Amino acid sequence: SQTIHQWPATLVQPVGSPLSLECTVEGTSNPNLYWYRQAAGRGLQLLFYSVGIGQISSEVPQNLSASRPQDRQFILSSKKLLLSDSGFYLCASDRVGSINTGELFFGEGSRLTVL
C-alpha cells in the first residue's frame, strides 16, 4: 500500500498572499501525481497532473501553478491568492510497481480559505 501526505491540512490566507501546498507519496516510485480542487457544492476539478520530475500538465488556466522537484513530491503554489482559490485541494497518486491499473489514491486534503 502507499501513503499520501498533504500539508497543511487547513489554511486561512488573505487575498494577495502566496500559497504553497505540499504533497508527498510513500511506498511507490515514479507515480503519476495529480492535484484536484473541490469547491463547495461542486465536483472535483483536475488542476494539474505530472508523469515525472519536472513534467507538469495544466488542465485549466488559473492563478495556480504546480511543480514536481522530486519523484514523490508535488507542490501547488500561487504568487497571489484570489477569493476564488478557496476550496479543498486533494493530491492523488496511482499505484506503480506492478501493472498500472490506473487506480488513484488520494490524500486527506488541504482546506484553503481565502479571506
Binding site for another protein (CB under 8 A): 6, 32, 34, 36, 42-44, 46, 49, 51, 57, 59, 88, 90, 92, 101-109, 111
Residue 108 CB, nearest approach to another protein (Å): 4
Burial of residue 44 (CB within 10 Å: 0-12, 13-18, 19+) is middle
Q: What are phi and psi of 83, to 5 degrees?
A: -55, -35
Residue 91 CB, nearest approach to another protein (Å): 9
Residue 8 C-alpha from the chain's centroid: 12
Residue 52 CB, nearest approach to another protein (Å): 12
Three-state DSSP class for residue 47: strand
Residue placing its CB nearer to another protein in the complex, 18 or 108: 108
Residue 79 CB, nearest approach to another protein (Å): 25
Q: What are phi and psi of 89, to 5 degrees?
A: -105, 130
Residue placing its CB nearer to another protein in the complex, 21 or 109: 109
Residue placing its CB nearer to another protein in the complex, 15 or 60: 60
- CA dihedral (11, 92, 68, 30) positive or negative: positive
